[in-house]
Amino acid sequence: MIWVDTILQGVLLGGLYALFAAGLSLVFGIMRLVNLAHGDLIVFGAYLILIVVSVLGLHPFLAAFIAAPVMFVFGWVLQKAVLNRTLGDDILPPLLVTFGLSIVIQNGLLEAFSADSQRISMGPLETASVSIGPISAGVLPLLTFGSAVLVIVALNRLFYRTAIGRAFRATSDDPTTASLMGIRPDRVFATATAIAMLVVTIAALYLGTRANFDPNVGPARLIYAFEAVIIGGLGSLWGTLAGGIIIGVAQTVGAAINPEWQILAGHVAFLVVLLVRPRGLFPRGN
């Protein structure tokens, strides 16, 4: 029974990783941009929520609702003013610029908030749990997982059922021909990053409430997100969830065997999946 419990915790943890990864997956899927600052943007979002919580005294969920539009606009401007200029045939400029952005965000947060670790308090919700028979799960991890599933359902609907999703896919196929359809690729990219920032806000909420964070935890989150995206198959959002779950389960199982193996087990699972399925579990298109 302890194993069932361990695996359940791993699955729920996978939901958190999928949240970390969904925005990354969306942006990569549309503009082939690997955003190395993605993890730092999540941490940035967590501080933003923290500020709203402490200044306005709001519940974190409400604070996230206020932070989300701020992040949305931030993402739009970031893409339009900075990242669009790096896109092109050469894949190096976006990597360099987002790497630089990662450093800027980390140091900016250090200046503003110091290296002390912080936490967004959820009050009694933090320890609340539900049990079914002998198995129990925390309410917060369940909410996290539920949010991940909702985010992926919503992004898939957006992608495959709306005019803007059509524009996303067309621009990703061929930006020049898309522009002949009256679509402005730089605007599509800005919108995509803005939407990714909404997902980042949700990820930030759960990052900040689940455990302590400080300005330097971003890159580690980025690694898990990357691994989830890659073993899920580039461009597939459900694949990203599956990838997150695989890493989450590997980590909790690894930790159950030996607490020192937690992180290692996640990376090993990543490598094993890549060995067996080099293009990931659910690669998009042919």
| Interface positions with another protein (CB under 8 A) | 163, 166-167, 169-170, 172-174, 176-184, 187, 191, 285
Count H helices, E strands: the chain? Answer: 11, 2
Sign of CA dihedral 123, 127, 132, 133: negative
Q: β-strands 135-138, 129-132: how paired? A: antiparallel
Half-sphere exposure of residue 254, counting CA atoms within 13 Å on the CB side?
16
How far apart (Å, rounded) are the C-alpha atoms in residues 155 and 208? Answer: 23
Nearer to another protein, 158 or 170 (CB): 170
How far apart (Å, rounded) are the C-alpha atoms in residues 92 and 34? Answer: 10
Nearer to another protein, 71 or 246 (CB): 71
In the complex, minimum distance from the CB of residue 173 to another protein, in angstroms, rounded to a whole number: 5
In the complex, minimum distance from the CB of residue 156 to another protein, in angstroms, rounded to a whole number: 14
Nearer to another protein, 102 or 191 (CB): 191
In the complex, minimum distance from the CB of residue 274 to another protein, in angstroms, rounded to a whole number: 25
In the complex, minimum distance from the CB of residue 31 to another protein, in angstroms, rounded to a whole number: 14
Nearer to another protein, 131 or 176 (CB): 176
Question: What are the Cα distances from residue 166, in Å, to 83, 163, 178, 180, 241?
Answer: 22, 5, 10, 14, 23
Distance of CA 283 to the CA centre of its chain: 19
Question: What are the Cα distances from residue 24, in Å, to 20, 30, 31, 162, 226?
Answer: 8, 10, 11, 20, 8
Q: Give SS3 for 91.
A: coil
Nearer to another protein, 168 or 270 (CB): 168
In the complex, minimum distance from the CB of residue 170 to another protein, in angstroms, rounded to a whole number: 5
In the complex, minimum distance from the CB of residue 244 to another protein, in angstroms, rounded to a whole number: 24
Nearer to another protein, 68 or 140 (CB): 68
